[in-house]
A and B are shown apart, each in its own frame.
Chain A
Amino acid sequence: MKPGALLRLALAGSRTDTLRVVLTAVSAALAMLAILAAATVVAIPELGSSPDDAAAWNVQYTVAYLREPGLRPGVTVALVLLVIPALVLAAQCGRLGAPARDRRLASIRLAGATPRQTMTLVAVETGVASALGALIALGTYLLGRRLLHNPGPDGRLVLPTDVLPPWWVLALLTASLPLLATGIAVVALRRVSVGPFGVVRRQRAESPRIWPGLLVMPGIAVIAVLEPISAYADNRDVALPAAVFLGLVATGALMTVIGVVFGTGWISHRAGQTLARYARRAPAMLAGRRLMADPWAGSRAFAVVLTCVAFGAAAAGVKAAFAANFAVEDEANRLTAEANGEEFVPRTDLDFYYNAFDLINVAVAVAALIAAGGLLVTIAEGIVSRRRTYAHLSASGVPRSVLRRATMWQALAPVVPASVVAAVAGAALPRALFGSSVTGGGYDSVPEVTLSVPIPFGDLAMLSGGAVVVVAAVVMVSLLFLRPSTHPSELRTG
């Protein structure tokens, strides 16, 4: 197919299609901005050799995360991680307005296009939209650098607006994003085949297995095993290589996250089974059966929300461990001061650490909101694609309130257990790493002080509760699509 024809066919369409292209472009732009920000942080020049050397700090920045080379990798990683929900949202947007587009694709097939050509059209649309978004992001970034370049009275900057990554890096990144987004779209469409009579989504026939979800436990176990291993190494005076240590931490964390994410299928199916068996009223019965029939609906966006919960829970656990550590240190210092007859001065620079955790929470919230956008698209699409059934049900006398309640049940039934599991799994990681109690002191005349690390129930409840609230809000917005979906015009027999 000639590129011109390809472009024309890919971008043909109505208002919904334009909306879809715009939303995809916006998500791609968000992802691009995150990447550019990360690239900028990476581009801040390394001044010294050792990360602990205060002389190596880039003092032109007021913010410690940009100043201290030791902290910057963390910032970079966090920014790169933000790309994931944005790209997932871009892929989800590709499903918006799918029924009309599916009909168009089917008629193109009927006119003689091969299946591969029609899939290419879909991929091209995503590619073009994300290229558009990437370019807009690049422009916003370059413009923003100029506008936000605002040195304070002492000449220091809040944002790294004095640093620009090399132009070839910028070009490479701007070109890679659309390719990456297109690749994701192609993978997302692998179960879709376009025939001349319509688009068929091959559903997974078998019910989800439990084993992916069970990965959570080995994941935590891997982390839990680190402490004994390092204690063992200490006893033998063998230094545990940092790479091995980090590698094990990463593996354990990854297994846990994968377990949480892939376990959603099993959780949804199970939740559906329970609802279907014990439901007294129609909405729960409808929701339960629907979950059993299609447990993976919306799972991608939902997975990102769950990962945010797990991440936030891990951060809360780390925060609790740090707080316990500081408390123990303070206590030890106090006892030392007492023993020496000096005045005890508690640490006052803890704000820095607590601010870090607050920033992490903000990042987690932002990622969750972006993922919620993807979830909205998926749920709305689910409603719209079932409109013929809904219209027939409504015409047969099933009230819209029942359909609304069924949709609510269907979305929330897996969310509640899954977010609890995600929170618990996330909190278990730092607990396994740092242990359930911290010890300090035990030197000179200072007795050993031991404090148990509290489980941050409050934070965990807020995280899982927050996930449930966000999903509930998303469902309520998507229910706006229900009324037009029950319109009698869908009853036409031809």
Chain B
Amino acid sequence: MTAEPLLTGRGVVKSYGQIPALRGVSVDVAEGEIVAVTGPSGCGKSTLLHCLAGILTPDAGEVSYRGERIERRSEAERSLLRRSEFGVLFQFGQLVPELTIAENVALPLMLGGTGRRQAHTAALTWLDRLGVAHLADDLPGAVSGGEQQRTALARALVTEPRVLFADEPTGALDTLAGEQVLDHLLRVTQDQGTAVIIVTHDARVAAYAAREFALRDGEHDPSGVGIGSVRRGRRARGEVATEARAR
């Protein structure tokens, strides 16, 4: 087991125009670890996820995967990373509505050069693991939200990534459907040794993770609670100053 963390962010800063979303966040994720990124809405959780996954390029700071910096790589290279070493799961909207369930899951493999038939077989295996193999020839519009999310999960995991990024994966689902998705997510990632970073504002979802990383107003909140007592204020300012010096 390597002591070096698998994925790290150092002093990540990102703004949308004038609005700062991340003000210098540092985080480590070890191999096979499950981390929940929590915080109130608007605190920058999704932005942090997007920066760590290479979907967004941060304005400042570093993101390293397996010891190599990835934030400045070209879009083509990061895209390759996202479909081979990383898996991404969103709240909704990620399945191609015209492709069947099986074709949706086979897509990343086909993009990686696998032949169609082979990719289809692999897709069916994964759908079976997640209990939705009977829907293989249906269109996404014809299945339930929970089944869609399990399909999306299968698609995220079909290339056997080392890190799974999940952004509010159960946000659009009712409680039991969400539990099902999380159960499968937990089981499969534990079997594969995949690290998981899950963004959520729901404490019950965060409880599935071994560790919580709380954000507040674009900064890490070490108290884990998310609000300014004097103690936290002083410490946070100190942290930012240290980061500024280190940069």
Binary flags per residue of B162-173, CB closer than 8 Å to A gives 1, else 0: 000001100100
A289 touches B99 (CB 8 A): yes
Binary flags per residue of A248-263, CB closer than 8 Å to B gives 1, else 0: 0000000000000000
Q: Which of A389-412 contact B (CB under 8 A)?
A: 389, 392-400, 402
A493 touches B83 (CB 8 A): no
- Nearest residue, chain B, Cβ from A399: B79
Q: Is residue A282 contacting chain B, with contact meaning CB distance below 8 A?
A: yes
Query: Which of A285, A402, A493 counts the most B-chain CB atoms under 10 A from its CB?
Result: A493
Q: Which of B64-122 contact A (CB under 8 A)?
A: 75-76, 79-84, 86, 88, 90-94, 96-100, 103, 107-108, 110-111, 115-116
In the complex, which residues of chain B have a beta carbon less than 8 angstroms from the beta carbon of A399? Answer: 76, 79-80, 111
Report the bound CA distance from A292 to B99 in whole Å.
10
B81 touches A389 (CB 8 A): no
A491 touches B46 (CB 8 A): yes
Q: Which of B13-55 contact A (CB under 8 A)?
A: 16, 46, 50, 53, 55
Report the bound CA distance from A282 to B155 in whole Å.
14
Q: Is residue B182 contacting chain A, with contact meaning CB distance below 8 A?
A: no
**Contact check: which of B80, B81, B103 meets A289 at CB < 8 Å?**
B103
Q: Is residue B56 contacting chain A, with contact meaning CB distance below 8 A?
A: yes
In the complex, which residues of chain B have a beta carbon less than 8 angstroms from the beta carbon of A398? Answer: 79, 83, 107-108, 111
In the complex, which residues of chain A have a beta carbon less than 8 angstroms from the beta carbon of B80? Answer: 397, 399
A393 touches B96 (CB 8 A): yes
A286 touches B91 (CB 8 A): no
Q: Is residue A218 contacting chain B, with contact meaning CB distance below 8 A?
A: no
B98 touches A290 (CB 8 A): yes
Query: Which of B56, B108, B110, B167 counts the most A-chain CB atoms under 10 A from its CB?
Result: B110
Nearest CB of B to A430, in Å = 41
A286 touches B82 (CB 8 A): no
Q: Is residue B198 contacting chain A, with contact meaning CB distance below 8 A?
A: no
B90 touches A395 (CB 8 A): yes
B167 touches A493 (CB 8 A): yes
The answer to whether residues A396 and B96 also contact, given A289-B103, A488-B56, A491-B46 and a CB cut-off of 8 A, is: no
B98 touches A282 (CB 8 A): no
The answer to whether residues A392 and B98 also contact, given A282-B110, A285-B103, A491-B50 and a CB cut-off of 8 A, is: no
- Nearest residue, chain A, Cβ from B53: A395
Report the bound CA distance from A294 to B96 in whole Å.
13
Q: Is residue A360 contacting chain B, with contact meaning CB distance below 8 A?
A: no
Report the bound CA distance from A489 to B21 in whole Å.
13
In the complex, which residues of chain B have a beta carbon less than 8 angstroms from the beta carbon of A202? Answer: none
Q: Is residue A240 contacting chain B, with contact meaning CB distance below 8 A?
A: no
**Contact check: which of B46, B99, B103, B115 meets A493 at CB < 8 Å?**
B46
Chain B interface category by residue count: 35 or more
Q: Is residue B156 contacting chain A, with contact meaning CB distance below 8 A?
A: yes
A493 touches B108 (CB 8 A): no
Number of A residues with CB within 8 Å of any CB on chain B: 28
Q: Is residue A98 contacting chain B, with contact meaning CB distance below 8 A?
A: no
B116 touches A279 (CB 8 A): yes
Q: Is residue A293 contacting chain B, with contact meaning CB distance below 8 A?
A: yes
Q: Is residue A388 contacting chain B, with contact meaning CB distance below 8 A?
A: yes
Q: Which of A151-205 contact B (CB under 8 A)?
A: none
- Nearest residue, chain A, Cβ from B141: A293
In the complex, which residues of chain B have a beta carbon less than 8 angstroms from the beta carbon of A285? Answer: 99, 103, 110, 116
Nearest CB of A to B76, in Å = 6
Report the bound CA distance from A157 to B75 in whole Å.
62
In the complex, which residues of chain B have a beta carbon less than 8 angstroms from the beta carbon of A488? Answer: 50, 55-56
Report the bound CA distance from A488 to B82 in whole Å.
14
- Nearest residue, chain A, Cβ from B109: A282
The answer to whether residues A280 and B108 also contact, given A285-B103, A397-B84 and a CB cut-off of 8 A, is: no
B94 touches A397 (CB 8 A): no
B96 touches A493 (CB 8 A): no
Q: Which of A459-494 contact B (CB under 8 A)?
A: 488-489, 491-493
Query: Which of A285, A392, A395 counts the most B-chain CB atoms under 10 A from its CB?
Result: A395
B96 touches A397 (CB 8 A): no
In the complex, which residues of chain A have a beta carbon less than 8 angstroms from the beta carbon of B110? Answer: 281-282, 285
In the complex, which residues of chain B have a beta carbon less than 8 angstroms from the beta carbon of A281? Answer: 110, 116
Nearest CB of A to B34, in Å = 20
Report the bound CA distance from A389 to B96 in whole Å.
7
Nearest CB of A to B50, in Å = 6
Report the bound CA distance from A492 to B19 in whole Å.
15
In the complex, which residues of chain B have a beta carbon less than 8 angstroms from the beta carbon of A493? Answer: 46, 90-92, 167-168, 171
B97 touches A396 (CB 8 A): no
The answer to whether residues A280 and B90 also contact, given A285-B110, A397-B79, A402-B111 and a CB cut-off of 8 A, is: no
- Nearest residue, chain B, Cβ from A394: B79
- Nearest residue, chain B, Cβ from A285: B103
B88 touches A397 (CB 8 A): yes
Nearest CB of B to A395, in Å = 5
**Contact check: which of B86, B91, B171 meets A397 at CB < 8 Å?**
B86
Report the bound CA distance from A493 to B173 in whole Å.
14
Report the bound CA distance from A121 to B10 in whole Å.
52
Q: Which of A346-405 contact B (CB under 8 A)?
A: 388-389, 392-400, 402
A282 touches B107 (CB 8 A): yes
Report the bound CA distance from A289 to B95 in whole Å.
13
Nearest CB of A to B155, in Å = 7
- Nearest residue, chain A, Cβ from B57: A488
Give chain A's interface residues, CB within 8 Å of chain B: 279-282, 285-286, 289-290, 292-294, 388-389, 392-400, 402, 488-489, 491-493
A-B CB contact pairs (8 Å), 27 listed: A280-B115, A281-B116, A285-B103, A292-B98, A293-B98, A388-B93, A389-B93, A389-B96, A392-B90, A393-B94, A395-B50, A395-B53, A395-B90, A395-B94, A396-B82, A396-B156, A397-B79, A397-B81, A397-B84, A397-B88, A398-B108, A399-B80, A400-B75, A488-B50, A491-B50, A492-B46, A493-B171
* A-B contact sample (18 more), CB < 8 A, given A286-B99, A392-B94, A400-B79: A280-B115, A281-B110, A281-B116, A285-B103, A289-B96, A290-B98, A389-B94, A392-B93, A394-B79, A395-B55, A395-B82, A396-B82, A396-B108, A399-B80, A488-B50, A491-B55, A492-B46, A493-B92
